[in-house]
């Protein structure tokens, strides 16, 4: 680590970034805060409403329902993607021909526009014309994600696993490659089995990258919008209406600015809070 | 020998799983609408390039690609250029409020685009940038600049401070040191940061769609229109989707040697 | 404990080795005596670590066999060979306590807990780690971390061999001496076979009874510190061991005598043997310690005299070749024009780097 020297002039180097991000973040955020306390009937006429919208959102069953769906979704994809990503990274060869190609192929889903991901899985999973839909139905299981909430959930989760597990794989793979050979050799000589190598060497060394992986996956799955929107439109019914989908419905669909703004802020604060909790939990003991 | 084979099975199966939906998309893109709706086949029986022909000849389609690439490139250049000096400052100096500032920057990566969609629409309308690539490029800076600063800071912390000191002793001024010495020395980091900016700007749709209507409409938005209107244009949709995979693939190929370290954001 | 024999070991890291330079190790035959203490000495990149990893089983040699007590173990993995190895950089299991680190190799081999405690405690005491046994291994100093690595090797009963790969590189200098003598003491007490890899000749000379010098993938000499000093089998050994290293003079054979320029030199080599008369570059090697000033030797020109503390090094020139003379404490340098004599018993002849057979006694 570099020892940094005190220099207040460094502010000049940071200033452009601060200005640009502030323009993008602070002005819209103030707009949102502003709306969240007011009522409007259009034409720029506003009435002060105090915390009415916040109370309304916090007590609304619709919000509770989408929050619950959101939490279940995020917990499920984290529970699948993190272990699966670690397992695949562990089973990948460290060097050799083809490793580069493997990595490139694995990174491919990450660079596909999110609505294309949704559209692709739509085509892939449709019961009549999709490979997946056909295959499942051919097994004798009735499957139609546009009608059955269970099937819709299954498809959305499978799509997210398809889309994002590679991020975990690539992060963990980088972490594993950075473990010096001597550690693995010492463990072999000490007679450690695969599980012990994983438990006592690989997992501790992966802690940093896993923290990044969990945080990124948590944030992005909590904000997910485009992919399920394109795939299921939040349906059938409201079965896959997650927080962002609900928020956009309220804000841009119904143009209920006040409630939408209040919900936005609650949503944002929730992510910040959960990220902070994750970060503190995962980094606990690092200082000592 | 047998052991090696078994362990390679998991990544192979995983890659197969990744490629299946992509294959299906490409497969569809070479089929006629009749074939898609009329029969089920694992590969195109009646191979056609018509879907691609439409995309390359119809301006509402191909201008979508041009628009998307325009704002993605502007955003990538802008994000990296702004992030470079800031990342340098964070990696080399302590200054008043540095930690809080860094954290505040990162919180913007945690802001759901859905939260900002409406205010962005109003903000960019009021300054007259609505429906231009510049609006999307600037809006994407919200999450890409923090990310670029974060990645670059990680890589720059790995560049020894002696490099700076030697350069100043050799009589470089700060700007000349920064451009001629430091930027070349952090090449890998810049490549990776640019890659990530490209990636997140290229895949994002919600803001891009909200900030454009006709003139600067991104390809992704053109596709949603098709998707929502009818199933009759599935082949066209598949072709458009398949084409959006290409820029990503090209970009990954460029950074393939740094990909593992890059995904750890220079922090392993 | 075991005697370890390497038979025709060769190794290449490239899958299809073609030229000489593709081989990291070139045909090595060597026997490590049971209970011996060996130093494996050589510059970086000479193949020391490769050889070590072949003995420990971390690496499968491209050719040849490894025998432990006459039994072929070439196909066995490291844990089955029952060996211990300490690496250059400390390897500790971060999440465990110091005690658990020491106990780890024993527990993996299914020893009962009472014995684990006893042995780990004993080793901790020997290495002066007993006060930090309950601490997390991550939290201890770099020196202590290397002590833990060392401890994990020493804790195991009846290992076949303990191998140490430059284990003291990252250790504080004052602790280095302490650990080195500790190691020697432990070796004497337990009698394990020890192979100590180093590029530092002082370390090798003080620690080991036998030194194996590796150069460019070959064993150039294996022997006691004295034999390496007095009779280097290869100019590399002469040059690498001793400070300053052995002087080398280009030489030629004329009328059955070795000459440097026009001077006839009395050497310890059988110049009439058939191998002495072959083709190849001839050199005469003599250590600075085996040259002394006298009144009736060869005329040399002394350029300068360097004070090296307790002794002096004179830099001189003979027949246009620069060389060094060791001047012991109290010895005098006659002046710019001097005469020297080589001690015959230590004046060797080399062809293409290799020592010519000495004259029959």
Contacts of C87 in chain A (CB under 8 A): 182, 185-186
Q: Is residue C360 part of a domain?
A: no
**C78 to A182: CB separation less than 8 angstroms, yes or no:** no
Q: Please state the rounded mean pLDDT for residues A127-145.
A: 85
C115 with C262, same domain: the answer is no
Q: According to the model, what pLDDT value does residue A54 have? A: 79
A198-214 pLDDT tens trace: 988 898 888 878 888 88
Q: Do chains C and B touch (3 or more CB pairs under 8 A)?
A: no
> What torsion, rounded to 10 degrees, do the Cα atoms B24, B29, B34, B40 define?
-10
Question: Per-domain residue ranges for chain A?
Answer: 62-283
More confident residue, A40 or C325: C325
Is A26 in contact with A249 (CB distance < 8 Å)?
A: no
User: In the listed set C175, C196, C230, which residue is the last one of a domain according to the structure?
Assistant: C230
Domain final residue pick, C175, C207, C230:
C230
Query: Which residues sit opposite C85 in a β-bridge?
Result: C163
* C299 part of a folded domain: yes
C3 within a domain of the structure (yes/no):
no
Q: How far apart are CA C114 and CA C92, in angstroms?
A: 23
Contacts of B241 in chain A (CB under 8 A): 112, 116, 119-120
Closest CA to A113 of B245, B73, C128: B245
Contacts of C162 in chain A (CB under 8 A): none
Q: Is the pLDDT of residue C156 over 90?
A: no
What is the pLDDT at residue A78?
Answer: 95
Rounded Cα distance between C128 and C118, Å, is: 15
State how far the Cα of C307 lies from the Cα of C25, in Å rounded to an integer. 40
Q: Is the pLDDT of residue B1 over 50?
A: no
Which chain C positions have a beta carbon within 8 Å of A205's beta carbon? Answer: 94
Cross-strand bridge partners of residue C25: C11
Statement to judge: residues C217 and C306 lie in one domain: no
Please give, rounded to a whole number of angstroms, the shortest distance from the CA of A173 to a CA of chain C.
20
Taking an 8 Å cut-off on Cβ atoms, the answer to whether A113 and B244 are in contact is yes
Best-predicted range by mean pLDDT among A125-134, B97-106, B233-242, C284-293? C284-293
Residue C200 shares a structural domain with residue C294: no
To which H or E segment does residue B5 belong? helix B2-29
Span B63-83, average pLDDT: 91
CB contact under 8 A, C89 and A182: yes
H or E, element range at C327:
strand C321-327
Quick check: A161 pLDDT over 90?
yes
pLDDT of residue B2: 41
Which subunits have 3 or more CB–CB pairs within 8 Å of chain A?
B, C
B268 pLDDT higher than 50: no
- A274 has a chain B CB within 8 A of its CB: no
Average pLDDT estimate for C324-331: 86
Contact (CB<8Å) A180/C84: no
| Cα–Cα distance list, A8 to A14, B97, B136 (Å) | 11, 10, 33
Going by C-alpha positions, the residue among B240, B242, B146 that lies closest to residue B193 is: B146
**What percent of chain A clears pLDDT 90, i.e. is strictly above it?**
14
> Is C304 part of any domain?
yes
Is the pLDDT at A142 greater than 90, yes or no?
no
C215 and C255 share a domain? no
At residue A288, the pLDDT reads 40
Pair C208, C278 in one domain:
no
Of C87, C108, C149, the CB nearest to A191: C108
Residues of chain B neighbouring A25 (CB-CB closer than 8 A): 108, 111, 142
**Residue A52, pLDDT score:** 75
Q: How many CB atoms lie within 10 A of CB B6?
A: 9
Tell me if C166 is assigned to some domain.
Answer: yes
pLDDT, position B82: 92
Interface probe for B, chosen from A10, A94, A251 (most Cβ of B below 10 Å), is A10
pLDDT at C281 over 60: yes
User: What residues in B contact A208, CB-CB < 8 Å?
Assistant: 264, 267-268
**Given a cut of 60, is residue C19 above it in pLDDT?**
yes
Interface of C with A (CB under 8 A): 53, 56, 58, 77-79, 83-85, 87-89, 91, 93-96, 104-105, 108-109, 136, 139, 149, 152
Is the pLDDT reported for residue B241 higher than 80? Answer: yes
List the subunits that have 3+ CB pairs under 8 angstroms with B. A
Say if the Cβ atoms of A119 and B241 lie within 8 Å.
yes
* C94 and C195 share one domain: yes
Q: Which of A30-39, A133-142, C97-106 has the highest mean pLDDT?
A: C97-106
pLDDT band at A245 (very low <50, low <70, confident <90, very high): confident
Instruction: Tell me the average pLDDT of chain B.
Output: 82
Region C53-68: what's the mean pLDDT? 89
- Which segments of chain C does DSSP mark as H helices, in order? 48-56, 78-81, 98-108, 113-126, 142-154, 173-190, 201-207, 225-230, 235-240
Q: Which of C91, C96, C139 sits opposite A186 (nearest CB)?
A: C91
| pLDDT above 60 (res C339) | yes
Q: Rounded distance, CA C222 to CA A11, Å?
A: 64
Whether residue C336 has pLDDT greater than 70: yes
Per-residue pLDDT, averaged over A145-168, amounts to: 91
Of the partner residues B15, B206, B267, the one whose CB lies closest to the CB of residue A208: B267
Across chain A, what does the average pLDDT equal? 84
* Chain C, nearest residue to A205 by Cα: C94
Whether chain B has a CB inside 8 Å of the CB on A59: the answer is no
Sequence spans of domains, chain B = 1-48, 58-263
- pLDDT bin (cut points 50, 70, 90) of residue B74 is very high
Q: What is the pLDDT of residue B3?
A: 47
Beta carbons of C108 and A180 less than 8 Å apart: no
Q: Is the pLDDT assigned to residue C75 strictly greater than 60?
A: yes
Per-residue pLDDT at B264? 61
C60 and C174 co-located in one domain? yes
| Residue B167 pLDDT greater than 70, yes or no | yes
Nearest chain C residue to A196 by CA distance is C108
**Nearest residue of A to residue C56, measured between CA atoms:** A189
**Domain with C164 in it:** 35-64+73-230
Residues C44 and C174 in one domain: yes
Contact flag B145-A20 (C-beta cutoff 8 Å):
yes
pLDDT at residue A74 is higher than 90: yes
Whether C216 and C251 map to the same domain: the answer is no
Separation in Å, CA of B95 to nearest CA in chain A: 5
Across the range C78-93, mean pLDDT stands at: 87
Q: Where are the beta strands (DSSP E) in C155-290?
A: 162-165, 194-198, 210-215, 218-223, 247-250, 252-254, 257-260, 263-265, 282-286
What was the pLDDT predicted at B240?
86
Q: Which fold would CATH assign to domain B58-263? A: MetI-like fold (1.10.3720)
Banded model confidence at residue A87, pLDDT cuts 50, 70, 90: very high
Domain membership flag for residue C12:
no
* A145, A155 Cβ separation under 8 angstroms: yes
Answer with the one of C203, C230, C257 that is the final residue of a domain: C230
The arithmetic mean of pLDDT across residues B38-53, rounded, is 80
**Number of structural domains in chain C:** 2
pLDDT of residue B78: 93
pLDDT of C38: 92
Residue A69 pLDDT class (50, 70, 90 cuts): very high
**Closest Cβ–Cβ partner in C58, C95, C104 for A188:** C58
Q: What local confidence, expressed as pLDDT, does residue C190 receive?
A: 82
Interface test with chain A among C55, C60, C87, C154, by most A beta carbons within 10 Å: C87
Identify all chain A residues contacting B94, using CB atoms and an 8 Å cutoff.
4-7
Q: Which of A43-52, A87-96, C47-56 has the highest mean pLDDT?
A: C47-56
Confidence of residue B265 (pLDDT cuts 50, 70, 90): low
Residue B196 has pLDDT above 90, yes or no: no
C-alpha span between B86 and B88 (Å, rounded): 5
Top-ranked range on mean pLDDT: pick from A29-33, A87-91, B3-7, C25-29: A87-91
Pairing of strands C194-198, C37-41: parallel
Average confidence (pLDDT) over C156-166: 86
pLDDT at A71: 93
CATH number at residue C203: 3.40.50.300
Domain A62-283 fold is MetI-like fold (1.10.3720)
Instruction: State yes or no: pLDDT of C286 exceeds 70.
Output: yes
Residue C236: per-residue pLDDT? 92
Q: Residues C214, C138: one domain?
A: yes
Q: Over 60: is that where the pLDDT of A285 sits? A: no
From the CA of B250, how many Å to the nearest CA of chain A? 10
Asked whether the predicted pLDDT for residue A260 surpasses 90, the reply is no
Domain check: are C305 and C222 in the same one? no
Q: Pick the residue with more confidence: C247 or A236?
A: C247
pLDDT of amino acid B5: 57
SS3 B215: coil
Chain C residues touching residue A185 (CB < 8 angstroms)? 53, 56, 58, 78, 85, 87
Contact indicator for A215, A275 with CB cutoff of 8 Å: yes
Q: Which residues pair with C292 in a beta bridge?
A: C341
pLDDT score for B260: 65
CB A198 within 8 A of CB A266: no
Write out pLDDT tens, residues A213-241.
Answer: 888 899 889 888 888 888 888 878 888 88
Residues of A within 8 A of C49 (CB-CB) are none
Q: Is C350 left (phi over 0), alpha (psi -120 to 50) or beta?
A: beta
Q: Is residue C212 part of a domain?
A: yes
Of the two residues A18 and A288, the one the predictor is more confident about is A18
- Kindly state whether residues C325 and C193 are assigned to the same domain: no
Residue C56, domain member (yes or no): yes
- State which residue of chain C sits closest to A287, comparing Cα positions: C139
């Amino acid at each position: 680590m570099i020892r940094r020297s005190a220099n207040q002039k460094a502010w000049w180097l940071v200033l452009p970034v601060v200005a640009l991000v502030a323009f993008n973040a602070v002005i819209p955020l103030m707009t949102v805060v502003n709306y969240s306390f007011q009522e409007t009937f259009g034409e720029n006429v506003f009435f002060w409403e105090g915390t009415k919208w916040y109370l309304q959102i916090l007590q609304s069953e619709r919000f509770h329902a989408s929050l619950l769906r959101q939490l279940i979704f995020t917990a499920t994809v984290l529970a699948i993607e993190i272990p699966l990503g670690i397992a695949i990274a562990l089973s990948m060869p460290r060097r050799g021909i083809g490793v580069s190609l493997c990595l490139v192929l694995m990174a491919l889903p990450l660079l596909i526009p999110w609505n294309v991901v949704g559209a692709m899985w739509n085509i892939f999973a449709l019961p009549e014309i999709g490979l997946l839909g056909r295959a499942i139905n051919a097994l004798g299981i009735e499957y139609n994600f546009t009608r059955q909430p269970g099937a819709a959930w299954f498809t959305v989760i499978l799509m997210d696993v398809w889309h994002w597990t590679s991020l975990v794989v690539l992060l963990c793979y980088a972490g594993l490659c950075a473990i010096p050979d001597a550690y693995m050799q010492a463990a072999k000589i000490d007679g450690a089995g695969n599980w012990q190598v994983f438990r006592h060497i690989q997992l501790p060394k992966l802690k940093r990258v896993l923290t990044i992986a969990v945080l990124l996956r948590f944030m992005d799955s909590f904000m997910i919008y485009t992919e399920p929107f394109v795939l299921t439109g939040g349906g059938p019914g409201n079965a896959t209406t997650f927080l962002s989908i609900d928020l956009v419905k309220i804000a841009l669909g119904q143009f209920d600015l006040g409630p939408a703004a209040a919900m936005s802020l609650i949503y944002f604060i929730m992510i910040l809070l959960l990220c902070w909790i994750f970060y503190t939990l995962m980094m606990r003991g690092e200082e000592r | 020998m047998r052991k090696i084979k078994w362990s390679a099975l998991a990544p192979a199966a995983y890659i197969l799983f990744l490629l299946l939906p992509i294959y299906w998309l490409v497969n569809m893109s070479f089929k006629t609408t009749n074939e898609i709706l009329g029969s089920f086949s694992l590969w195109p029986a009646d191979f056609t390039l018509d879907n691609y022909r439409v995309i390359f000849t119809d301006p509402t389609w191909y201008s979508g690609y041009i628009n998307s690439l325009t704002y993605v490139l502007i955003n990538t250049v802008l994000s990296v250029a702004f992030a470079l000096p800031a990342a340098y400052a964070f990696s080399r100096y302590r200054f008043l409020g540095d930690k809080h500032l860094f954290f505040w920057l990162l919180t913007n990566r945690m802001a759901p685009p859905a939260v900002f969609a409406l205010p962005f629409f109003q903000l960019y309308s009021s300054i007259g940038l609505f429906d231009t690539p510049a609006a999307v490029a600037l809006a994407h800076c919200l999450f890409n600049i923090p990310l670029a600063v974060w990645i670059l800071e990680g890589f720059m912390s790995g560049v020894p401070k002696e490099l700076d000191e030697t350069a100043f002793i050799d009589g470089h001024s700060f700007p000349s040191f920064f451009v001629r010495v430091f930027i070349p020395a952090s090449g890998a980091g810049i490549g990776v940061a640019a890659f990530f900016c490209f990636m997140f700007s290229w895949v994002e749709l919600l803001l891009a769609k909200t900030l454009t209507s006709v003139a600067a409409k991104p390809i992704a938005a053109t596709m949603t229109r098709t998707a929502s209107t009818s199933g009759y244009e599935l082949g066209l949709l598949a072709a458009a989707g398949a084409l959006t995979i290409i820029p990503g693939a090209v970009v990954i190929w460029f950074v393939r040697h740094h990909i593992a370290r890059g995904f750890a954001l220079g922090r392993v | 404990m075991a005697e370890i024999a390497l038979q025709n070991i060769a190794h290449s890291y490239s899958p299809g080795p073609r030229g000489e330079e593709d081989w990291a190790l070139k045909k090595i035959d060597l026997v490590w005596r049971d209970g011996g203490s060996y130093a494996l000495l050589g510059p970086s990149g000479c193949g020391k670590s490769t050889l070590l990893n072949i003995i420990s089983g971390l690496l499968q040699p491209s050719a040849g066999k490894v025998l432990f007590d006459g039994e072929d173990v070439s196909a066995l993995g490291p844990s089955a060979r029952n060996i211990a190895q300490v690496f250059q950089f400390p390897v500790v299991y971060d999440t465990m306590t110091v005690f658990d680190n020491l106990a780890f190799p024993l527990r993996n081999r299914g020893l009962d807990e009472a014995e684990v405690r006893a042995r780990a405690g004993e080793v901790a005491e020997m290495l002066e780690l007993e006060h930090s046994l309950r601490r997390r291994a991550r939290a201890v100093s770099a020196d202590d971390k290397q002590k833990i690595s060392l401890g994990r090797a020493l804790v195991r009963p009846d290992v076949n061999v303990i191998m140490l790969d430059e284990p003291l590189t990252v250790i504080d200098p004052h602790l280095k001496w302490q650990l080195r003598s500790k190691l020697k003491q432990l070796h004497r007490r337990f009698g394990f076979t020890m192979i100590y890899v180093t590029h530092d000749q002082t370390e090798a000379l003080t620690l080991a009874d036998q030194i194996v010098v590796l150069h460019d993938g070959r064993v150039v000499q294996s022997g006691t510190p004295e034999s390496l000093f007095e009779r280097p089998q290869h100019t590399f050994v002469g040059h690498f061991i001793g400070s300053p290293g052995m002087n080398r003079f280009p030489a030629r054979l004329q009328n059955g005598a070795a000459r440097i320029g026009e001077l006839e030199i009395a050497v310890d080599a059988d110049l009439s043997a058939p191998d002495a008369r072959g083709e190849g570059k001839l050199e005469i090697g003599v250590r600075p310690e085996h040259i002394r000033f006298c009144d009736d030797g060869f005329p040399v020109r002394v350029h300068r005299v360097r004070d090296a503390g307790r002794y002096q090094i004179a830099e001189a020139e003979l027949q246009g070749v620069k060389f060094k003379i060791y001047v012991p404490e109290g010895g005098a340098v006659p002046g710019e024009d001097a005469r020297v004599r080589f001690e015959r018993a230590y004046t060797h002849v080399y062809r293409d780097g290799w020592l010519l057979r000495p004259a029959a006694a």
